[in-house]
Amino acid sequence: MLRRHAALVTAALLSVGLAGCSGGTVAPRRPAAEAPPKATTPAPRVPAGHAPTKSFAVGVRQLKLNRDGDRPLPVTVWYPARGSAGDAPEPSAPAATGRFPVVMFSHGLGARPEDYQLLLSRWAAAGFVVAAPRFPHTGTGGDGNPLDVLNQPADVSYALTQVLALDGRAGDPLRGHLAPDRVAAAGHSAGGVTTVGLFTAGRDERLDAGIVFAGTALGVGTGFAGAAAPQLFVHGEADEVVSYAAGKAVYDAVPWPKAMLSLPKGDHGRALLSDGKALRVVADTTVEFLRWTLYGDAAAKNRLPADATRGGLATLDDHL
């Protein structure tokens, strides 16, 4: 399954790359001697605060969305719920008390939001509402059109608007439980392209931070724009689909506070899909990053390097 997914993603990224160069002006290459842009060090927009210290039970629900009437976008939402922490996500469980930041997650080509439940439910247990659209063409069951990746940043922005609207919708289980001013985007592979696009050509100014798993900027460019939004890149050095160098090149272009978690033995996505030591490092590191960027928790930022390098499974290039 992983090999099939890798082949599909390779086709997608190659096609997206051709799409990005097929019409109009091709951006000139930067001369080799020119130094990459220096990262600025502005503080995140989120005020200083403290993330929850306890783990939550996790609830899960489905939203039926459709952008422009012809782009069905079913969204899976994992959220902090009442009950015992550590149990499997419970459908439609009552939401926990409090207001929680929102993370929009984009899946890879040929995948489903549920494929990433191990990671995304850990984010929800840490105090985040995670909303993951299933894209109409690149998700499981779609026609596999790789060029549609370029439409997905707008899909995510649309879905984000609908998810945030639940906070004020009478009778909705999440009414009064969302923090609409604290939002991040994350995505894997083709979903990583989608996520990069949300900070470049399709900049959504509501986003305070981003996490890119095994992603590249093919088709969406590296013109990062708008207010500073810290970025965390996660990439396996043995990635057989999106080369580590390609991911690193996008990371290098980010002009904001940033860090890159590198897994020397990591492939294209197994650490996100299979429970194990690598997933625990990735989960703990991304949780601390989200705690810092969306809750303003400085202590989480301080813990991040130790979590990233625990067990010697990964290294962290830290410019946060």
Which tens digits make up the pLDDT trace of 223-282?
999 999 999 999 999 999 999 999 999 999 999 999 999 999 999 988 888 879 999 999
Q: What is the pLDDT of residues 86-135, one digit of tens each?
A: 999 999 999 999 999 999 999 999 999 999 999 999 999 999 999 999 99
- Supply the pLDDT for residue 28: 31
307 close to 315: Cβ distance less than 8 angstroms: no
Angle, in degrees to the nearest 10, between helices 190-197 and 152-165:
70
How would you classify residue 231: left for phi > 0, otherwise alpha for psi between -120 and 50, otherwise beta?
A: beta
Q: What is the pLDDT of residues 279-307, one digit of tens each?
A: 999 999 999 999 999 999 999 999 999 99
Q: What percent of the chain has pLDDT over 70?
A: 86
SS3 per-residue string spanning 256-316? CCEEEEEECCCCCCHHHHCCCHHHHHHHHHHHHHHHHHHHCCHHHHHHHHHHHHHHHCCEE
- Supply the pLDDT for residue 44: 65
Q: What is the pLDDT of residues 165-217, one digit of tens each?
A: 999 999 999 999 999 999 999 999 999 999 999 999 999 999 999 999 999 99
Catalogue all structural domains in the chain, each as residue range(s) with its CATH number.
2-19+56-319 (3.40.50.1820)
214 close to 268: Cβ distance less than 8 angstroms: yes
Q: Could you list the beta-strand ranges (E) of the chain.
A: 57-67, 71-81, 90-91, 100-106, 129-133, 178-188, 209-213, 231-236, 258-263, 315-319
Q: What is the pLDDT of residues 13-34, one digit of tens each?
A: 433 332 332 222 223 333 334 4
For strands 178-188 and 129-133, give the pairing: unpaired
- Supply the pLDDT for residue 32: 39
- Supply the pLDDT for residue 41: 53
Q: Which tokens in the block code for residue 126?
A: 């840490």
- Supply the pLDDT for residue 87: 93
Q: What is the pLDDT of residues 36-54, one digit of tens each?
A: 444 445 666 788 899 999 9
- Supply the pLDDT for residue 275: 76
Give the predicted TM-score (pTM) of the model: 0.88
pLDDT band at 8 (very low <50, low <70, confident <90, very high): very low
- Supply the pLDDT for residue 181: 96
- Supply the pLDDT for residue 46: 82
269 close to 301: Cβ distance less than 8 angstroms: no
Distance in angstroms (rounded) separating the CA atoms of residues 262 and 269 = 12
- Supply the pLDDT for residue 112: 97
**Farthest CA pair distance, the chain:** 59
Please count the other Cβ atoms lying within 10 Å of the Cβ belonging to residue 278.
20
Checking if the pLDDT of 11 tops 50, the result is no
CA atoms within 13 A on the CB side of 273: 17
Distance in angstroms (rounded) separating the CA atoms of residues 86 and 175 = 24
